Structure 1
Amino acid sequence: MPIPAPNLNPAFNIVRLSHVEFGVTDLAASRKFYTEILGLQVTDEDQDTIYLRAMEERGHHCLVLKKKPEAGIDYLSYKVWSEEELDKAEAFFKAKGHKTEWVERAYQGRTLRSQDCFGAPMEFYYKMDRLEPIHQKYELYRGVKPLRIDHFNCFAPNVDQAVEFYGELGFRVTEYTEDEETGHLWAAWAHRKGGVHDIAFTNGTGPRLHHTAFWVPTPLNIIDLLDLMATTGYVSNIERGPGRHGISNAFFLYILDPDGHRIEIYCSDYQTVDPDLEPIKWDLKDPQRQTLWGAAAPRSWFEHGSVFTGVDTREAELKATPIIAP
């Protein structure tokens, strides 16, 4: 199925992905993992909620941990270009027949909540409290030394439908995997901020969050993280990698937090600023698409994901499968 032409004039203007809220069952265990192992910085906390940011970020938070009876994903959030874009976004989602509501979020201005084509919750804001820069406070650098949140990847029951919907929002596809037998998409990577992706979609039972990725300076940061995890009781949380993707060219590592939320640590991808940049096509049966080098992905990587709180899932419509490690 052909990739839709990029929509360079969407109904409202999304700048980039912003942050995600994780429901976690043990707030203390999650705090330790994200601060002492990954190295995110706490910007505020109380008995039920922790706000964190990475080292280059000026916004108040890129990750919110909320104590919940069951683990889940409460929403994925995006920053828009201006205050006026929020009203345009509301009109867009209402015209689609999607429920919209204005919600209160700490450290943010007006925030619009709606959902994508599969019911996954999306939030949009323009204003977030700014904090002083800390990227040169090297005494604060810990763990893998995360510089910024980079992207989300979601399981989608129909990747063609995801690409069409998010294309209307102005997300431009950079790379994609096609099943040659059916002509349908098995996965796609799409961006707003000029990297390989702000969000990607993987064929599977969904909607579910496959992973949240953080960008680090070098592959050596990932090696340091592996050494740290292996000697602090987290070796079983290492799921896949290190290795290099063919898609995105990224050096990667996948790990699981105490509740099983998957985190990718990620570097060495490329810029995609030009609006007329042609997307790169991969065949699903090409083993180098997912692993240019390194061990093949385990079965858990294709099956395990985090549910969106209160959102029903459905099985993938496309039954094709890639190469899976035994």
Structure 2
Amino acid sequence: MPIPAPNLYPPFNIVRLSHVELIVTDLAKSRAFYVDTLGLQVTDEDSEAIYLRAMEERGHHCIVLRKGDAPRARDLGFKLFGDEDLDKAEAFFRAKGLPVEWVDRPFQSRTFRTRDPHGIPLEFYVKMDRLPPIHQKYALYRGVKPLRIDHFNCFSPNVDESVAFYNEIGFRVTEYTEDEESGHLWAAWTHRKGGVHDMAFTNGTGPRLHHTAFWVPTPLNIIDLLDLMATTGWVDNIERGPGRHGISNAFFLYIRDPDGHRIEIYCSDYQTVDPDLEPIKWDLKDPQRQTLWGAAAPRSWFEEGSLFEGQEPVPAQLNAQPIIAP
């Protein structure tokens, strides 16, 4: 199925991805993982939630850890350009017959929640409380030295449909994997901010959150994190990597938090600002698609993900088999 032409004049203007809220079962364990190990900065916390930001971020938070009975992913947050875009976005989703709920969010301006056609929970806002810059406060840097949230990847039961919908609201495809036998998309990487992706889709039972990614300064920071995790009780939370992706060319590591939420540590992809940049096509059976060096991903990477709160996943419509590590 052909990739849709870029929609350069969408109905409203999304600047970038912004934040995610994860339901965790033990705030103390999650704090030890995200703060003490990864190095994210606490901006607010109480007995029910912890708000975190990375070192380059001026907004109040990029991730919210909220205490709950069972692990779940909640809203994927996106920042819009202006108030008029928020009203246009509301009208767009209502016209599609998708739910719109205006909500009060701490540290954010007017915000509404909705879902995409497959049920991924989305949150849109314009302004978040600004905090003083800390990117030059080097005494605060620790762990993997996370600089900023980079992207989401979600399992989709129909990647063609997901790409078509997000294309309509202005996401542009940078790279994609096609199943040669059926001609359908198996995965796609789409962006708003000029990197390889803000939002990616992987074929599978969905919708589920596959991972949230954080950008770090260099591959050496990832090596340092591996040494730290291996010697502080987190070795079993290392899932895949380190390595270099064929798709995106990024250096990566996949790890799991105490509740199994997958986090990618990520650096070294490329710029995609040009509106006429041609998407790069990959064959599902290309061994360098997953990892440039040829190493296949483990089965868990293709089958496990975080359930979205209030949404039951459905099986993928495309039955195509990627290369899986033995």
Q: TM-score range by the shorter chain?
A: over 0.9
Superposition TM-score, scaled by structure 2 size: 0.99
Secondary structure of the corresponding residue to residue 93 of structure 1: helix
- Separation in 2, partners of 1:160, 1:320: 14
Q: Which residue of 1 aligns with 2:237?
A: 237
One-letter code aligned to 1:20 = V
Q: CA deviation at 1:120?
A: 1.1
Secondary structure of the corresponding residue to residue 288 of structure 1: helix
Q: CA deviation at 1:27?
A: 0.5
| Over 3 Å off, 4+ runs | none
Query: Could you report, residue by residue, the CA deviation over 1:127-161 in whole angstroms, capped at 9, with x for unpaired residues?
Result: 10000000000000010000000000000000000
Secondary structure of the corresponding residue to residue 227 of structure 1: helix
Q: Which residue of 1 aligns with 2:310?
A: 310
Query: Could you report, residue by residue, the CA deviation over 1:19-41 in whole angstroms, capped at 9, with x for unpaired residues?
Result: 00000000010011000110000
Which aligned pairs between 1:68-147 and structure 2 lie closer than 5 A?
Answer: 68-147=68-147
Contact 1:242 1:294 in 2 (8 A): no
Secondary structure of the corresponding residue to residue 9 of structure 2: coil
Q: Which residue of 1 aligns with 2:24?
A: 24
Superposition TM-score, scaled by structure 1 size: 0.99
- Separation in 1, partners of 2:113, 2:84: 15
One-letter code aligned to 2:303 = E
- Separation in 1, partners of 2:180, 2:295: 24
- Separation in 2, partners of 1:254, 1:286: 21
Q: Which residue of 2 aligns with 1:33?
A: 33
Secondary structure of the corresponding residue to residue 69 of structure 1: coil
Q: Which residue of 2 aligns with 1:210?
A: 210
Query: Could you report, residue by residue, the CA deviation over 1:160-182 in whole angstroms, capped at 9, with x for unpaired residues?
Result: 00000000110000000000000
1:187 aligns with 2:187: yes
Contact 2:145 2:221 in 1 (8 A): yes
One-letter code aligned to 1:246 = G
1:169 aligns with 2:164: no
Unmatched runs of 5 consecutive residues or more in structure 2: none
Which aligned pairs between 1:144-293 and structure 2 lie closer than 5 A?
Answer: 144-293=144-293
One-letter code aligned to 2:275 = P
Q: CA deviation at 1:295?
A: 3.2
Q: CA deviation at 1:244?
A: 0.5
One-letter code aligned to 1:147 = L
Identity %: 79
One-letter code aligned to 1:164 = A
- Separation in 1, partners of 2:171, 2:159: 14
Q: CA deviation at 1:275?
A: 0.5
Contact 2:80 2:86 in 1 (8 A): yes
Q: CA deviation at 1:90?
A: 0.5
Q: CA deviation at 1:294?
A: 5.8
- Separation in 2, partners of 1:76, 1:263: 14
- Separation in 2, partners of 1:99, 1:53: 29
- Separation in 2, partners of 1:121, 1:108: 17
- Separation in 2, partners of 1:99, 1:133: 36
Secondary structure of the corresponding residue to residue 241 of structure 1: strand
Contact 1:55 1:135 in 2 (8 A): yes
Q: CA deviation at 1:312?
A: 1.2
- Separation in 2, partners of 1:209, 1:287: 24
Contact 1:244 1:294 in 2 (8 A): no
Query: Could you report, residue by residue, the CA deviation over 1:302-321 in whole angstroms, capped at 9, with x for unpaired residues?
Result: 00000001101100010101
- Separation in 1, partners of 2:311, 2:265: 27
Which aligned pairs between 1:48-87 and structure 2 lie closer than 5 A?
Answer: 48-87=48-87
- Separation in 1, partners of 2:134, 2:316: 43
- Separation in 1, partners of 2:105, 2:170: 25
1:319 aligns with 2:319: yes
Secondary structure of the corresponding residue to residue 290 of structure 2: coil
Contact 1:24 1:66 in 2 (8 A): yes
Unmatched runs of 5 consecutive residues or more in structure 1: none
- Separation in 2, partners of 1:224, 1:117: 40
Output the aligned Cα RMSD. Answer: 0.6
- Separation in 1, partners of 2:295, 2:8: 38
One-letter code aligned to 2:173 = V
Contact 2:20 2:77 in 1 (8 A): yes
Q: CA deviation at 1:234?
A: 0.3
Secondary structure of the corresponding residue to residue 122 of structure 1: strand
